[in-house]
Amino acid sequence: MLRLMIFLLVGTTAFSVHAQSDVPLPSWNDSASKAAIVDFVTRVTSPGSPDFVPVPERIAVFDNDGCLWCEAPLPLQVEYVLAELKRRAPQEPKLAKNEMVQAALKGDFEQLLAGDHHDGLMEIIALTHSGMTTSEFDQQVRDWKDSFHHRRFGHDLKGMTYQPMLEVLAYLRENDFKTFIVSGGGADFMRVVSEELYGIPPEQVVGSTSRTKYELRDGKPVLIKTMDYLFVDDKAGKPVGIHQFIGRRPIACFGNSDGDQAMLEYTTIENPHPSLGVIVHHTDATREFAYDKKPPSSGKLVSALKAAPERGWVVVDMLKDWKQVLVGESD
Amino acid sequence: MLRLMIFLLVGTTAFSVHAQSDVPLPSWNDSASKAAIVDFVTRVTSPGSPDFVPVPERIAVFDNDGCLWCEAPLPLQVEYVLAELKRRAPQEPKLAKNEMVQAALKGDFEQLLAGDHHDGLMEIIALTHSGMTTSEFDQQVRDWKDSFHHRRFGHDLKGMTYQPMLEVLAYLRENDFKTFIVSGGGADFMRVVSEELYGIPPEQVVGSTSRTKYELRDGKPVLIKTMDYLFVDDKAGKPVGIHQFIGRRPIACFGNSDGDQAMLEYTTIENPHPSLGVIVHHTDATREFAYDKKPPSSGKLVSALKAAPERGWVVVDMLKDWKQVLVGESD
């Protein structure tokens, strides 16, 4: 209630000088988007409110690429694949001779994305995401993380996350929400960085997965990564992943592309609890990237954007709604 | 530290009259098993101790059947299958004519378990676990739960859980452990009851799963249960499931059969943190059931029991170590 009062006060008092830390979402302008998020959280957490939701049911899900961190000009996991191939090719002649590896190292994405199933891309993902133990993979991702600099902004990985979305995560957790990532990205990949970047522990990361193989190697338990039983946590796969990994329906869902439409539906249509659907729309070509119909890589936003008004989903305009975009941005 | 002092005091003072609520694990006799559990928890939670484990890494995993609740004479999920077939057969002539359904209703387990893959059992599981929406399935399990009475003890479902294990769950959670079920049972099945019986929320239940299919049915999002991509969370599948669903290595593991041996290994062998492996041994034919080599249904305990001394796993003797077995037991 205090939080609501502060918000209303700030919203109506242009020259308010309240300390930012008292106000939720300080990097958000006082727009309708911010008001909708704060209003929802206030409603579901106010004891006695007809919209009150018990703590265990306060599940919030977030897409990752383009929703919590930048996905342009290439998704960061694709940057990882390219960096790995570049690192390994000089030491592994067989790898270096692979046609798709050569396409990747030349930056020939047309070849990698050819065909309905993007066979080239799948091949270089398999080459960099299977055949090693989970510990070896984790170490490779950590090494990459430590050396990463974004090709346009020069930021490190933390600097590629969205400051306003980190504030949403923190705000929801302060209000006893459990925050989950539900992303098409690889679960093993994201779990290496999710705790440090977002405060989201590995067990709250739902992503694309394939099975590992357990064995005792020289008496020591190892899990070997394979591409078997690949589960792609995207589009209709997102509600499927939410059910399989979380086992209950979220009441808040944040996405940014048509790949998130199914989980936005699953969260907001005929949910017995009040619910919130939010789409982050990339509209800021200066501070980040502007795209929807023609995204730089993945992440087309057409159908979900069209459905938003009817569904009551909040569309966040990054240009207008956010004071700051990337964490790495200098003020 | 206070808890350690209380424990030491109680452990050395035979006529101590401390209130039970101050002492961890009140339904446990002051045996070596109890001491090993309390000692482990004390070591990993004492700040400044070389064995201290940070809170986020305090992951404890528990088998369910025969470890948290009774699995004899039949696993409770099999009781559910039989009850469902019995309920549905009179209304569904096609189902009633199925050969394996008839075997089940006659209690002919020899026929159901014939063959390497137990095709009959798998068939009646498929008939009762797929083809409906997840909401319909949840409701069916809830209805069964409400009408359940155990064939030997007459207890309701809560009464079939082990009082000393509920105390272990509570004790670990008081010490900032996150407690997970990792069971061969169906995740969807266990998630209906896990919060009420164990205080374990659905998102901390790892079990056997198959994929659902997402669709908008009359404009409403539903997930339809299938048997596709079946993942059996047993034996070597348990560390695989732990990795896929939790994404980090547990430091404590409780099991009761050879099906738990792989996750006991994964938890305790060369874990960078101190770790605890516990096997619950069914030795009490009067208060529950006594079995290991020849279990009443599933749950053979031979190989893991043999490995226990070398691996340093604690073997709990239910007859000697537990003052009370089932929650439903009268004192």
- Which of B177, B173, B183, B181 lies closest to B201 in space, CA to CA? B181
Q: Which CATH number characterizes residue A174's domain?
A: 3.40.50.1000
Question: Under a CB-based contact definition with an 8 Å cutoff, are residues B279 and B308 in contact?
Answer: yes
Question: Under a CB-based contact definition with an 8 Å cutoff, are residues A252 and A51 in contact?
Answer: no
Please tell me the predicted confidence (pLDDT) of residue A330: 58
Please tell me the predicted confidence (pLDDT) of residue A327: 96
The answer to whether residues B184 and B286 belong to one domain is yes
pLDDT at A13 over 60: no
A vs B: CB pairs below 8 A:
107
Q: For the residues B135-139, what does the mean pLDDT come to?
A: 98
**Neighbour count for residue B202 (Cβ, 10 Å):** 20
Least trusted range by pLDDT, from A16-20, B261-265, B284-288: A16-20
Q: Which residues, numbered 118 to 147 in chain B, qualify as contacts with chain A under a Cβ-Cβ cut-off of 8 Å?
A: 134
Confidence of residue B310 (pLDDT cuts 50, 70, 90): very high
The answer to whether residues A284 and A313 belong to one domain is yes
Predicted complex ipTM: 0.92
> Any chain B CB within 8 A of the CB of A189?
no
Residue where one domain finishes, among candidates A147, A179, A197:
A147
Confidence of residue B287 (pLDDT cuts 50, 70, 90): very high
Kind and range of the H or E run holding B239: helix B237-241
The answer to whether residues B64 and B81 belong to one domain is no
> Any chain A CB within 8 A of the CB of B231?
yes
Q: For the residues B121-140, what does the mean pLDDT come to?
A: 97
Confidence of residue A287 (pLDDT cuts 50, 70, 90): very high
Residue B330 included in any domain: no
Taking an 8 Å cut-off on Cβ atoms, the answer to whether B134 and A203 are in contact is no
Residue A231 included in any domain: yes
Question: Under a CB-based contact definition with an 8 Å cutoff, are residues A259 and A238 in contact?
Answer: yes
The answer to whether residues A236 and A250 belong to one domain is yes
Tell me the C-alpha distance between B103 and B121, whole Å.
10
Q: For the residues A164-179, what does the mean pLDDT come to?
A: 98
Q: State which residue of chain A sits closest to B228, comparing Cα positions.
A: A229
Q: What is the DSSP secondary structure assignment for residue B207, as one 8-state letter? A: E
A66: region left, alpha or beta (phi > 0 left; psi from -120 to 50 alpha):
left
Kind and range of the H or E run holding A182: strand A178-186
Retrieve residue A142's tokens.
């950590």
The answer to whether residues A288 and A225 belong to one domain is yes
Residue B326 included in any domain: no
> Any chain B CB within 8 A of the CB of A213?
yes
Confidence of residue A15 (pLDDT cuts 50, 70, 90): very low
Q: For the residues A180-200, what does the mean pLDDT come to?
A: 98
Q: For the residues B16-26, what does the mean pLDDT come to?
A: 63
Please tell me the predicted confidence (pLDDT) of residue A2: 41
pLDDT > 70: percent of chain B: 93
Residue where one domain finishes, among candidates B129, B147, B165:
B147
Q: Which of A176, A181, A214 to mutate to test the interface with B (most CBs of B within 10 A)?
A: A214
**Neighbour count for residue A88 (Cβ, 10 Å):** 15
Please tell me the predicted confidence (pLDDT) of residue A8: 37
Q: What is the DSSP secondary structure assignment for residue A27, as one 8-state letter? A: T
What's the number of domains chain A is made of? 2
Confidence of residue A263 (pLDDT cuts 50, 70, 90): very high
Tell me the C-alpha distance between A319 and A324, whole Å.
9
The answer to whether residues A134 and A86 belong to one domain is yes
Question: Under a CB-based contact definition with an 8 Å cutoff, are residues A247 and B205 in contact?
Answer: yes
Taking an 8 Å cut-off on Cβ atoms, the answer to whether B214 and A240 are in contact is yes
The answer to whether residues A204 and A293 belong to one domain is yes
The answer to whether residues B102 and B134 belong to one domain is yes
pLDDT at B17 over 90: no
Q: Which of B58, B204, B214 to mutate to test the interface with A (most CBs of A within 10 A)?
A: B214
* Minimum distance, in Å, between the CA of residue B259 and any CA atom of chain A: 14
pTM assigned to the model: 0.92
> Which is higher by pLDDT, B52 or B16?
B52
A207-256 pLDDT, tens digit each = 999 999 999 999 999 999 999 999 999 999 999 999 999 999 999 999 99
**Which amino acid, B141?**
V
The answer to whether residues A244 and A205 belong to one domain is yes
Residue A203 included in any domain: yes
Contact list in A for residue B134 (CB cut-off 8 A) is 243
pLDDT > 90: percent of chain B: 89
Please tell me the predicted confidence (pLDDT) of residue B23: 85
Please tell me the predicted confidence (pLDDT) of residue A17: 39
Taking an 8 Å cut-off on Cβ atoms, the answer to whether B221 and A266 are in contact is yes
Q: For the residues A50-68, what does the mean pLDDT come to?
A: 98
> Any chain B CB within 8 A of the CB of A266?
yes
The answer to whether residues A214 and A89 belong to one domain is no
Q: For the residues A10-23, what does the mean pLDDT come to?
A: 44
H-assigned helices in chain A? 2-12, 32-45, 76-88, 93-97, 99-106, 109-113, 119-129, 134-147, 163-174, 187-198, 237-241, 261-268, 303-311, 318-321
Average confidence score pLDDT of chain A: 93
Question: Under a CB-based contact definition with an 8 Å cutoff, are residues B185 and B75 in contact?
Answer: yes
Kind and range of the H or E run holding B195: helix B187-198
> Any chain B CB within 8 A of the CB of A240?
yes
Classified as helix, coil or strand, A241 is: helix
Q: For the residues B178-183, what does the mean pLDDT come to?
A: 98
Residue A17 included in any domain: no
The answer to whether residues B257 and B141 belong to one domain is no
Taking an 8 Å cut-off on Cβ atoms, the answer to whether A240 and B212 are in contact is yes
B183-203 pLDDT, tens digit each = 999 999 999 999 999 999 999
> Any chain A CB within 8 A of the CB of B295?
no
Orientation of helix B2-12 relative to helix B32-45, angle to 10°: 160
Q: How far apart are the first and last CA of chain B?
A: 32
Retrieve residue B9's tokens.
């005091």
* Minimum distance, in Å, between the CA of residue A140 and any CA atom of chain B: 16
Range of the structural domain that residue B312 is part of: 2-72+155-321
B318-330 pLDDT, tens digit each = 999 999 999 987 5
B69-97 pLDDT, tens digit each = 999 999 999 999 999 999 999 999 999 99
* Minimum distance, in Å, between the CA of residue B166 and any CA atom of chain A: 20
pLDDT at B161 over 70: yes
Residue where one domain finishes, among candidates B114, B147, B180:
B147
Taking an 8 Å cut-off on Cβ atoms, the answer to whether A269 and B229 are in contact is no
Block residue for tokens 């206070």: B2
Residue B33 included in any domain: yes
**Which amino acid, B255?**
G
* Minimum distance, in Å, between the CA of residue A92 and any CA atom of chain B: 29
* Minimum distance, in Å, between the CA of residue A186 and any CA atom of chain B: 11
Residue B199 included in any domain: yes
Contact list in A for residue B245 (CB cut-off 8 A) is 203, 245
The answer to whether residues A169 and A307 belong to one domain is yes
Question: Under a CB-based contact definition with an 8 Å cutoff, are residues A268 and A276 in contact?
Answer: yes
* Beta-strand pair B205-208/B212-217: unpaired
Average confidence score pLDDT of chain B: 93
Retrieve residue B261's tokens.
């041996």
Please tell me the predicted confidence (pLDDT) of residue B1: 37
Taking an 8 Å cut-off on Cβ atoms, the answer to whether B247 and A59 are in contact is no
pLDDT at A312 over 90: yes
Q: Which of B213, B223, B271, B311 to mutate to test the interface with A (most CBs of A within 10 A)?
A: B223
Q: How far apart are the first and last CA of chain A?
A: 32
Taking an 8 Å cut-off on Cβ atoms, the answer to whether B134 and A239 are in contact is no
Please tell me the predicted confidence (pLDDT) of residue A295: 83
> Any chain B CB within 8 A of the CB of A173?
no
Contact list in A for residue B220 (CB cut-off 8 A) is 269-270
- Which of A202, A76, A210, A94 lies closest to A138 in space, CA to CA? A202
Contact list in B for residue A201 (CB cut-off 8 A) is 56
> Any chain A CB within 8 A of the CB of B166?
no
Q: State which residue of chain A sits closest to B194, comparing Cα positions.
A: A247
- Which of A317, A245, A254 lies closest to A285 in space, CA to CA? A317
Please tell me the predicted confidence (pLDDT) of residue A21: 52
> Any chain A CB within 8 A of the CB of B49?
no
Taking an 8 Å cut-off on Cβ atoms, the answer to whether B187 and A213 are in contact is no
> Any chain A CB within 8 A of the CB of B201?
yes
Taking an 8 Å cut-off on Cβ atoms, the answer to whether A209 and B134 are in contact is no
Please tell me the predicted confidence (pLDDT) of residue B296: 78
Residue B329 included in any domain: no
Taking an 8 Å cut-off on Cβ atoms, the answer to whether B203 and A265 are in contact is no
